[in-house]
Structure 1
Amino acid sequence: MMIVDNVKRLKAEIPDYVTLVAATKTRSVQEILELIDSGVIDLGENYVQEAQEKFGSIGMKARWHCIGHLQTNKVKKAVEIFDMIQTVDSVKLATEIDKRAGTIGKKMPLLIEINSAREENKSGVYPEKAMELIEGISHFENIIVVGLMTMGPVTDDVEEIRPYLRLTRRLFEEIGALEIKNVEMKYLSMGMSDSYRVAIEEGSNMVRLGTIIFGERKQ
């Protein structure tokens, strides 16, 4: 019942307009089915192979989000499983998604991952390069850019993340004000278990929560 209770508490706290994506990396099918029964149907998976294994048991009961770095050699399987890919940060990756989605007649919703803190060891496009990337992929017919995603730096002081969330929200609004083919700025995916409150304050309408739902991961 822990999962159900945690979800109930979160839903009482989180505004209705915020989509709760449960980060389900390493979580069992049994845990995920319990989660779905509690009303959370958006699942975030980091790895295509793990998502594929779970999809075999859960299938269309959930909406599947790719929230981990996606390698181009995994795109073919990814477009078959996922309903949204949140981690697009290059023309090369978007090109492969467009090609693979086209072969199965799918228009793939994407979020552009913003490396808001410009951290060299993290994926994501730097904020000043986001517009160039979006314009570079907007002519593709089998993808649609529906928003932005960011992680922000890892820190014990959640207030340190706020400027990077604010920067990403500003970018989201600037892009949303433009008319660009195949771009509809709907989702601003920011905030995890330790930072979702600040992220919502800064305009997030999609949060990716794991530990606060399931408890600490078993090593």
Structure 2
Amino acid sequence: MKLVEQRLATIQQQINEACEKAKRNPEDITLIAVTKSVSSKRAQALVDIGVEDLGENRLEGLLEKQKNIQNPVNWHFIGNLQTRKVKELIHTIHCLHSVDRMSLAKEVNKRAEQPMDCFVQVNVSGEESKSGIEPEEVEAFIEQLAAFENIHVIGLMTMAPNTDDECAIRNVFSSLRELRDKIAAKQLSYAPCTKLSIGMSNDFTIAIEEGATHIRIGTALVGSESEEDE
């Protein structure tokens, strides 16, 4: 078995175990392979073994891989997006995980030709190094999006602190889940907000236990370019 296949099998097993612990269905988890740090060839290897969702955080990396990977792929943009780059990006992706300000939402609405699935990014941890809307401002922000016919808020996204403190990580994820549930209860047609984009290589099992529907796995799945070809 190739190394990339071993990694995928390991992660799928971890997903299954976390779902069993949380009494959830593994089929409700979308695994996004974050390929920002590897080549198109490495990304293609993932697609070849059945990975259907790829995530990029830079426009240039996204466009390069889209040019080189011919298979049907669900493309996710997960990084900070400059407003001026929306027009180049919006027609090439399936989902935008990083709506974090009104100016960006306005530009997405202007450039999209049909409703774009989006996650609103929330800075739950309060770290200055992280992008996102303050938790207490999220409800008002989403209410303002009612005027934008091409914005479809499917859920909320955040990143946990880079720490070994499981309790701190779990608190961030559970806080976002509670906020998601509060918005979902409003039953807004343009913002069903039923999804949670949380969890990365070091904390995705915790995220699943706390309700993740989309997990963003980089190094643990894609490896690094310094490795030998498999």
Deviation of 1:218 (Å): 4.4
CA deviation after TM superposition for structure 1 residue 179, in Å: 2.2
Look up the match of 2:20: none
Alpha-carbon distance in structure 2 between the residues aligned to 1:217 and 1:98: 37
Q: Aligned partners of 1:169, 1:18: CA distance in 2, in Å?
A: 15
TM-score by length of 2: 0.89
The structural deviation recorded for 1:65 is 0.5
Gaps of 5+ in 2: 16-25
Superposition RMSD on alpha carbons, in Å? 1.6
- Which one of 190, 207, 229 corresponds to residue 182 of structure 1? 190
Residue in 2 aligned with 1:210? 218
How far off is 1:214 after superposition?
A: 1.9
Question: Aligned residues, how many?
Answer: 216
Are the equivalent residues in 1 in contact too, given 2:98–2:121 (CA < 8 A)? yes
Question: TM-score when scaled to structure 1?
Answer: 0.93
Choose from 30, 40, 44 the match for 2:51.
40
Q: Aligned AA for 2:101? A: S
The 3 A distance-change label for structure 1 pair 160 and 60 is same
Residue equivalent to 1:28: 39
Match of 1:138 in 2: 146
Change (3 A) 1:119 1:77: same
Whether 1:123 and 2:131 are equivalent positions in the alignment is yes
Corresponding letter in the other structure for 1:29 = S
Which of 30, 37, 45 does residue 19 from structure 1 map onto? 30
- The answer (yes or no) to whether the contact 1:139–1:182 under 8 Å persists in 2 is no
Equivalent residue, structure 2, for 1:88: 99
User: What does the per-residue CA deviation read over 1:102-153, in whole Å, with 9 as the maximum and x for residues that have no partner?
Assistant: xxx2321100001011122221001111111111112211120100111021
1:10 corresponds in structure 2 to 11
* Offset at residue 12 of structure 1 (A): 2.6
Percentage of matched positions with identical amino acids? 38
